[in-house]
Amino acid sequence: MIGPLNHVGVAVHSIEDAAQTYRELYGVTDITEPGEMLEQGVRFCFVNLPNSQIELIEPFGPNSPIENFLKKNPKGGQHHVCFEVEDIHEAKREMEAKGATILSEPRIGAHGTLIIFVHPKNSNGVLIELMETPKH
């Protein structure tokens, strides 16, 4: 059911500092400008790699879920793994039919497509984001 790996989300205190690490330490040159999603409580940017992306996410606005993650993981770290699916509504139905806990209704994510999150308890402790494959 899941398609290709789209990205790995990494929670950070500062997108700018983290992006600088990828530039200086790993030689990455293709990093997007930061964007904001107040409704999801995050600032984000993408570190573009030949076969995938790393999404850097930092807390933004009140009640950011990333703030709680960083309190538990003060140095930051892997927050989620994102896989593409053809139809997010079908994926949600299938996940729920299999007993998975979906953490929200489908909503627009950083790529401009619909996303849902599957609770880590259903995936060996890993928060899974399912993202409808971009149509462009």
pLDDT at 45: 97
Residue 5 has pLDDT above 80, yes or no: yes
Whole-number Å distance between alpha carbons of 67 and 108: 21
Per-residue pLDDT of 60-88, as tens digits, reads 987 899 999 999 999 999 999 999 999 99
Q: What CATH number has the domain bearing residue 14? A: 3.10.180.10
Alpha-carbon span 4 to 63, nearest angstrom: 31
DSSP-assigned beta bridge partners for residue 77: 11
The reported pLDDT for the residue numbered 62 is 78
Note down the domain range covering 99.
5-132
pLDDT above 90 coverage of the chain, percent: 91
Q: Show the tokens assigned to 46.
A: 């993408």
When divided into structural domains, the chain yields a total of 1
What is the arithmetic mean of pLDDT over 7-26?
97
Checking if the pLDDT of 13 tops 80, the result is yes
Here the tokens at position 133 are 């494959």
- Which tens digit of pLDDT belongs to each residue from 37-53? 998 999 999 999 999 99
